Amino acid sequence: MIERFSAFTRRTRWPIAVVWVLLVAGGAFLASGLPDRLSGGGWDVDGSQSAAVEEALREGFVGRGESTLTVVVHDREHTADEEPFEGRVREVVAAVAEDPDLEVRSTYGWSTLSPEARGPFLGGDRRTVVNVVGLGVEDGYARQELPAAQERLHERFADDGLEVSLVGPASFWGEVNELSEEGLFRAELITLPLIVLVVVLLFGGIVAALVALVVGVTSIVLTLAVLSLLAGQYELSLFVQNTATMLGLGVGVDYSLFVIARFKEELAAGRDVESAIATTLRTSGETVLSSGVTVIAAMCTLFLVPLGVIGSIALGAVVVVAFSVFTSVVLLPVLLHLLGPRIDRWVVVVRKGTHRRPAAARWAAFAGRVMRRPVAFLVVTVAGLLLLAAPSLGLRTFTPDARIIPAEEPVRAGYTLMEEQFGVGSTAPLQVLVSSPEPLGSDDGPAVTDLRRRLQELPGVVRVDSALDALAAASPEDPLGALAAPVREALPPDARQTVDHSVSADGRRLLLSVVPDGTAAAEGTQELLDDVRAEAARTEGAGLSVDVGGETAQGVDSNDAITRTMPAVVAAMLGVIYLFLLVTFRSVFLPLKAILINLLSVAATYGVLVLVFQHGIGADLLGFERTGYVQNFVPVLLLTLLFSLSTDYEVFLLSRVREDHRRTGDGVGSVARGLARTAPLISGAALLMVVVFGAFSFAGILPMKQLGLGMAVAIALDATVIRLVVVPASMRLMGDWNWWMPGRRAPARRAAGRGRRSHPAAAPAQVHRAVPAGVAAT
C-alpha cells in the first residue's frame, strides 16, 4: 500500500503541489482573522461561585454591564482643589461615554456624585480619580475594541497632562491579546532564521532546511485557519495562537527532519527516488504517524479539565500535531518527488566522508562507559535531577494578573495608580453577592448587616464597600427597608446612585465588596477568601444565598478544577503512553521505566520554573516581572506535552535498540549501537525544539515565557541527561528484563558482526551497517 501511495504521489505530484499552494494561501487568509476572534476568557468553572457572581453582575446595576471598566484619570498639572480639574476629568469621562464602540450604558463614581460624596473615588494624591462604567457590549467584543479605545484616549489627552487608563478584565485581556500578537511576531523573527541555521548544520544544505521550514509553516497556517473557523462558533483562548505556532514550529519541523534524514540516507544507499520515498514512508513515516497519534491521544486527556483556556490550548495542540503528521507523511513526499536528489543542493556545510564514523564511534563509546558503571552514573544523574526537582515542592499557581503587562502600558499604569492611591486590593476586591428569590427587605436586614460586620472584622480586610451605609442614613433602624420602591426612589441623588451601584434594580441581589490588603494572587488574599466563604456559608438560609466571586475566587476555583481533575488526566495519559509503548516494543517493563524517567524529568522542569518565575532567578535576562507564582495552566500543559515529546524520543532511540537486539540478541551492545545510530539526529531535533521553545521564553508574553522555558529545559534534559545517561544505565541494570513479555521467547544471542560476540567497545564498527526496513528504523 505504501509503495502504491508513493507511486501515486509521483504521478500526481504537480496537481497535489498546486492544491498544496492553494490550501496554504486560503489558510493564510482565514488565519489572518484569528486574533480578532480569540477571547481572554476560559477561566470560569461552570457551577462555581465565581462564575455565578460574574454572570449575576452583568445586568441590573448602575456602573456595571456586560463588561465593566474603571476609568482612571490622573492629572499631572492640577489637583482636585483647583478649578480646572473637574472640567478636565469630565471631558475624559464624556469621551469614554461617547465612544460608539464601547456603548457605555451607565456611569458611577467621582464625576456623577456631588463634591461631598466623592471622597472614596479620589486618590490620596488628590490628582487621581476613578469612575466605574458599565458597557452594553459583550465581553468578547469589548476585549477586541478596548485596546484601540485606550490608544485613542491616550493620544487625545496625554499631551494635556492627563493619564487615562481603562482598567478591568476586558481591557486587561484586550491588552494581553495585543501583547501576545507582538510577542508572537518577535518570536517568529527569532525562530525562523535559527531553524534554518540548525537544519543547515544538521543536513549541510539550504534546500533541505527550507523544505523542513515549509512543512512547519504549512502545519501552522492550516492549524490557524481551522482554529479561526472554530473561533467563530466557540470561545477560544488567546493563548491558543501562540501555543499552536510554537508547537507547529517545533513538532512540524522535527517530524520533517526524520523523514528528510531517512530519504537522504536511502538516496545515499543507491535507491531511486520512488523506492527511497517508499522506504522512508515505511520506516520514518510510520514512526512519525505513531508518534503523532500518541501525542494527540495524550493531549486529548486535557479535555477532562473543565476550563476553557486549557481546552482551547489542547485543541490547538491536537490540530497542529495532526497537521504536522499530515504534512510530513502526505505532502512532504510530494515535495521530495519534485526535488529528488536536488534535496542536497546549495550545500554550505561540507562534511568529509569519514566524518560520520568517528562521531558514531564517540557516541557508542560514551554509551559503553555509562554501561560499564551503570550504578554510579544512574545515582549521580538521578540525584542531580532530584536536586533540581526539589523547588517544585513549593510550586504555586494562579491565573494571570496585571503584572504580566509591561509597566509602561496605559492599562498597567492604571492598575498601578489604583493600587497606590486606593489600596493594593482595590483592583481585585472579593465580591460577596447576597441573593434572594424575593426582593430584599426588612426581614433580611439583620442577617446582611451582621454578615458585613463579620467580614469587616476578618484579618486582612481593609474595608467593605456596600450600599448599607447609604441605606442606613435613610432608615437607621431598618436599612434594608429603604429598598422598598417608594423609599428607594425618594433617596437623595448620591445615596440613590450608591444603592443602584450595589443593589440590583429588582432588589433581589446586594453586593458587598471586600477590599483585601494584598493582591489577588497573594497567599493572604487566598486565605481571606476561605474565611469570607466560611462567613458567607453561615449566612445562607432563610431564603438567602451568598456567593463569593472576584479575581481571587476565579483563580482559586480554576486551580481547584485543575487539581480535582489532575488524577484522571494523569491516569489517562499514562495509560495511553504505556499501552502505546507496550504495543511498540512488546515489553512490560520498558514502558514503566520510560514513565518513571519522564516523571523525574517533569519534576526537574517544574523545579526550574519555580526557581525562575517564583523566585525571580533570571528575571532580568528573560525580561519579566516576578509574580511569585506560575500560570495555573502551564504545569498541566507541560506534563502532557513533555510526556508526549519524550515518548517520541524514547521510540526513536529504543526502536533502533530493539531492532539490533532482535538481530543479535546482545542486550548491552544493542544499546550502544542504537544510541550511536540515533543520537546525532535526536540531538539535532532536540536542539531545534530548544531553539524554538527558547525563543518564546525570551520574546513571548509571560505565560508563553513560562511554557516556552519549561519546554526548552525539559527537551534539553531529555535529549542529554535522560537519553545519554539514564536510559543506557537503567537498561544495563535491567538486562534481559528490558524485553520481557509473557509468552515470548528470548532472541538467540548471535554475533553482531565479523564473527565475534558484540560488546559496547565493538559497537563503533557495527553502527554503519544497513538497517532493515521496518517501523523500528527511524
Q: Are residues 667 and 738 in contact, defined by beta-carbon separation less than 8 angstroms?
A: yes
Interacting residues of 30 by C-beta distance below 8 A, sequence separation 6+: 224, 225, 228, 229
pLDDT of residue 83: 93
**What confidence category does residue 751 fall into, taking pLDDT thresholds of 50, 70 and 90?**
very low
pLDDT of residue 543: 79
Which residue, among 119, 130, 114, has the nearest Cα to 69 in the 3D structure?
A: 130
Mean per-residue pLDDT, 656-678 = 81
Q: Are residues 765 and 753 in contact, defined by beta-carbon separation less than 8 angstroms?
A: yes
Mean per-residue pLDDT, 400-413 = 91
Mean per-residue pLDDT, 396-400 = 92
pLDDT of residue 261: 87
Helix 332-339 crosses helix 13-31 at what angle (to 10 degrees)?
130
pLDDT, greater one: 587 or 75: 75
**What confidence category does residue 485 fall into, taking pLDDT thresholds of 50, 70 and 90?**
confident
Q: What are phi and psi of 122, to 5 degrees?
A: -115, 130
pLDDT of residue 759: 46
HEC profile of 425-469: HHHCCEEEEEECCCCCCHHHHHHHHHHHHHHHCCCCEEEEECCHH
Which pTM value belongs to this model?
0.85
Q: Are residues 43 and 558 in contact, defined by beta-carbon separation less than 8 angstroms?
A: yes
- List pLDDT tens digits, range 571-612: 999 998 899 888 888 889 988 998 999 999 999 999 999 999
Query: Within a 13 Å sphere around the CA of 512, how many CA atoms are in the beta-carbon half?
Result: 26
- List pLDDT tens digits, range 312-343: 999 999 999 999 999 999 899 999 999 999 98
Which residue, among 587, 744, 732, 584, has the nearest Cα to 655 in the 3D structure?
A: 584
DSSP 8-state symbol, 772? P
Residue 757 pLDDT greater than 70, yes or no? no
- List pLDDT tens digits, range 544-570: 999 999 999 999 999 999 999 999 999
Q: Are residues 337 and 672 in contact, defined by beta-carbon separation less than 8 angstroms?
A: no
CA angle 243–248–253, rounded 5-degree value: 145
Residue 702 pLDDT greater than 50, yes or no? yes
pLDDT of residue 768: 38
- List pLDDT tens digits, range 411-426: 999 999 999 999 999 9
User: For the sheet containing 67-75, what is the strand order?
Assistant: 104-109, 128-135, 67-75, 162-167
- List pLDDT tens digits, range 244-274: 999 998 888 889 988 998 899 899 888 999 8
